[in-house]
């Protein structure tokens, strides 16, 4: 994707967001938050290799702006940051390898949301997200890739919500996802997905959600295109300090390549999210179990991902807070005997130097244990971050 096309997508998203809906121009509230984040990171094994580990420093600068509009029937959020990454090798460069600073780049992060209450029962909306990044996790929530290739990913999602009354609500969404790599030897892809939800509210605090999704994934060259459908039932319950969400269903995926068999998976999730379990609402904890297929692949490398994530944090004082995360994922591949175990543990401490200025330090370790030779890795990292976020006030 050319720089001109990048600018066109960014400006189109901004103009579309600012013009939807028209009544937003008479917003009752306007909030503008300029922000900038600077960080330094050291990775012991930046390229996540089994043998040739390379220690790398990463310097990141992220200036940005967040804007919120609110009116009687409309809301709009626009959040943008420019992400400048610079890399520095700390070890000698292996023969035949490129210096890490060849990966220096300027990325973008843009998200926007617009909502308009057209009638008492009808809500329409639009979501947009655009990233220019080297992080494979942006393309797939269950990513097991270690690629550092630069790519663009753009998601557009119009939404319609109809409230039948106190008991039933229907939601219809269409999402288009474009993934375009700067490198010509990696396939681009387009996904078109429809999502339908019918929610029955038992009470104000409990509901049952019937969800159906259908999508088609089209790749540029060798990887087979596919179509998939997924049906799921999701129960939600709001307790005094916890919100519980439990869902289970089935996904079937059919490939255009006649040499590939259909695959299917029992998909489920179980989420616990809580605040205030300790110390007068100064502690949070969340627990997530989830199983499904990965969506994005090259070379038809699909797997059943079973993932566990535990997060927690505590506000020790008005200035000091701490957070911790532990995650574990099993990637069980469909077309081979490959099976990977991926672990990550991290912890951070944040200190508010001022109401609008926060300094934080984070340390962690990530590891992959595979039954295929050459695919293991481990990496320890440390991050120091200084973040400025100032609210210019509401109008």
Two tokens at 217?
Answer: 């994934």
Torsions phi, psi for 95 (to 5 deg): -55, 135
Per-residue confidence (pLDDT) for residue 19, from 0 to 100 = 38
How many domains does the chain contain in total?
1
Per-residue pLDDT reduced to its tens digit, 231-270: 999 999 998 888 999 999 999 999 999 889 999 999 999 9
Residue 50 is assigned to a structural domain of this protein:
yes
Higher-confidence residue of 14 and 362: namely: 362
Per-residue pLDDT reduced to its tens digit, 367-390: 999 999 999 999 999 999 999 998
When the pLDDT of each residue in the chain is averaged and rounded to a whole number, the result is: 90
Whether residue 355 is predicted with pLDDT greater than 60 in this model: the reply is: yes
CA–CA gap between residue 256 and residue 223 (Å, rounded): 10
Residue 165 is assigned to a structural domain of this protein:
no
88-95 contacts at long range (C-beta below 8 A, 24 or more positions apart): 88/56, 88/57, 88/58, 88/59, 89/54, 89/55, 89/56, 90/42, 90/54, 90/55, 90/56, 90/57, 91/53, 91/54, 91/55, 93/54, 94/52, 94/54
Residue 133 is assigned to a structural domain of this protein:
no
Among residues of the chain, what percentage have pLDDT more than 70? 91
Residue 392 is assigned to a structural domain of this protein:
yes
- pLDDT-derived band at 297 (thresholds 50, 70, 90) equals confident
Locate the DSSP E strands across 224-281. Answer: 226-238, 242-255, 263-275
Per-residue pLDDT reduced to its tens digit, 133-163: 999 989 999 999 999 899 999 999 999 999 9
Residue 318 is assigned to a structural domain of this protein:
no
209-216 contacts at long range (C-beta below 8 A, 24 or more positions apart): 209/233, 209/234, 209/235, 209/236, 209/247, 211/247, 211/249, 215/191, 216/191, 216/192
Residue 157 is assigned to a structural domain of this protein:
no
Whether residue 174 is predicted with pLDDT greater than 80 in this model: the reply is: yes
Residue 289 is assigned to a structural domain of this protein:
no
Mean pLDDT, rounded, for 44-66:
95
Range of the domain at 27: 1-120+347-360+374-395
Residue 202 is assigned to a structural domain of this protein:
no
Per-residue confidence (pLDDT) for residue 281, from 0 to 100 = 66
Torsions phi, psi for 41 (to 5 deg): -135, 140
């Amino acid at each position: 994707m050319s720089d001109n096309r990048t600018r066109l997508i960014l400006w189109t998203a901004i103009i579309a967001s600012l013009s939807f809906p028209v009544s937003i121009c008479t917003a009752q509230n306007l909030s503008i938050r300029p922000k900038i984040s600077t960080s330094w990171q050291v990775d012991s094994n930046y390229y996540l290799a089994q043998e040739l580990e390379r220690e790398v420093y990463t310097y990141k600068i992220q200036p940005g702006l967040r804007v919120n509009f609110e009116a009687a029937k409309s809301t709009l959020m626009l959040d943008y940051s420019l992400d400048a990454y610079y890399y520095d090798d700390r070890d000698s460069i292996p023969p035949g390898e490129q210096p890490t600073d060849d990966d220096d780049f300027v990325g973008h992060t843009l998200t926007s949301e617009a909502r308009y209450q057209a009638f008492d029962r009808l809500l329409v909306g639009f979501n947009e997200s655009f990233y220019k990044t080297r992080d494979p996790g942006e393309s797939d929530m269950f990513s097991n890739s270690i690629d550092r290739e630069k790519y663009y990913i753009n998601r557009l999602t119009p939404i319609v919500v109809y409230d039948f009354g106190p008991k039933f609500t229907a939601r219809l969404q269409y999402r288009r996802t474009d993934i375009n790599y700067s490198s010509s030897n990696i396939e681009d892809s387009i996904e078109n997905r429809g999502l339908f939800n019918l929610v029955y509210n038992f009470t104000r605090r409990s509901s049952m959600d019937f969800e159906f999704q259908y999508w088609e994934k089209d790749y540029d060259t060798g990887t087979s295109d596919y179509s998939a459908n997924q049906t799921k039932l999701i129960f939600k319950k709001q307790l005094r300090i916890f919100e519980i969400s439990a869902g289970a269903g089935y996904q079937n995926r059919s490939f255009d390549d006649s040499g590939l068999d259909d695959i299917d998976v029992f998909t489920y999730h179980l989420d616990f999210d809580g605040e205030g379990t300790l110390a007068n609402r100064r502690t949070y904890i969340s627990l997530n179990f989830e199983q499904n297929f990965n969506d994005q692949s090259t070379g038809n490398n699909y797997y059943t991902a079973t993932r566990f994530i535990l997060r927690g944090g505590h506000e020790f004082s008005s200035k000091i807070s701490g957070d911790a995360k532990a995650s574990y994922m099993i990637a069980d591949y469909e077309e081979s005997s490959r099976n990977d175990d991926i672990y990550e543990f991290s912890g951070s401490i944040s200190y508010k130097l001022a109401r609008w200025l926060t300094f934080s330090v984070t340390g962690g370790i990530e590891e992959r244990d595979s039954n295929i030779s050459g695919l293991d890795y481990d990496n320890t990292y440390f991050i120091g971050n200084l973040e400025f976020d100032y609210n210019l006030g509401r109008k």
